[in-house]
């Protein structure tokens, strides 16, 4: 149960970027159809689930060689990603104050290509997290599925929040996601050092 809750928190942390992009897409494409929103959320979920699996298998190849420092590497990866997300949120908050028009790009129809690029861009961090999961000895199948489902649900909600409420939640989601990743990284480090 504890491992599932940790994975759920990890999924929420990783979903923060995709959620923020979904809010922005909902804000900038208010006429988005239901199937388009679900398809976009599915694409984000698929990549968020796939990337940790790829990172996990890459990390597994090196796990034996770096076993004595694996917990430090997992902590550094997760904390580094978390800190980066918080820094990006601060930058976005500053930019949105200077330029209140969040939709600075043209409000063209959201294309499959644009969604794929967004999906890859928001899931790159998940690859590094997958390496950390391999070093922590986590079950990757259940983790990848949980991360994918959590991301999908967050992104569906994000689209409709964006359509209804605007950009107020975008940087807050990134702050929260970054904090969650740092906490999980610290948990892995503490478990390996003291338990």
- What pLDDT sits at residue 105? 46
For 73-101, the pLDDT digits (tens) are: 778 877 887 888 788 878 877 877 776 65
Highest mean pLDDT (candidates 5-14, 35-44, 90-99): 35-44
Domain ranges of the chain: 2-100+121-194
C-alpha distance across the termini of the chain, in Å: 18
What's the chain's Rg over C-alpha atoms?
A: 17
Q: Out of 18-27, 44-53, 57-66, which region has the weakest mean confidence (pLDDT)?
A: 57-66
What tokens appear for 26 in the block? 């909902």
**Structure tokens of 13?**
């942390």
Q: How many Cβ atoms from other residues are within 10 Å of residue 191's Cβ?
A: 11
d(CA 118, CA 101): 20
Arithmetic mean of pLDDT, 110-114: 83
Neighbouring CB atoms inside 10 A of 1's CB total 5
Q: How many CA atoms lie within 13 A of 83 on its CB side?
A: 8
For residue 134, with 0-12 CB atoms within 10 Å meaning exposed, 13-18 middle and 19 or more buried, which class applies? buried
């Amino acid at each position: 149960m504890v491992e599932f809750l940790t994975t759920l928190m990890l999924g929420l942390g990783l979903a923060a970027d995709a959620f923020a992009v979904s809010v922005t897409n909902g804000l900038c494409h208010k006429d988005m159809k239901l199937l388009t929103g679900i398809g976009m959320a599915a694409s984000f979920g698929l990549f968020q689930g796939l990337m940790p699996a790829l990172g996990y298998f890459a990390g597994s190849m090196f796990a034996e060689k770096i076993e004595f420092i694996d917990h430090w590497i997992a902590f550094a990866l997760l904390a580094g990603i978390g800190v980066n997300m918080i820094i990006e949120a601060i930058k976005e908050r500053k930019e949105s104050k200077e330029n209140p028009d969040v939709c600075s790009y043209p409000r063209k129809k959201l294309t499959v290509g644009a969604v794929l690029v967004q999906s890859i861009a928001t899931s790159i961090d998940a690859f590094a997290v997958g390496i950390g999961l391999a070093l922590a000895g986590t079950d990757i199948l259940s983790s990848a599925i949980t991360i994918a489902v959590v991301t999908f649900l967050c992104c569906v909600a994000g689209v409709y929040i964006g359509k209804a409420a605007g950009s107020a939640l975008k940087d807050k989601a990134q702050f929260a996601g970054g904090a969650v990743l740092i906490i999980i990284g610290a948990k892995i480090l503490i478990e390996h050092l003291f338990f």
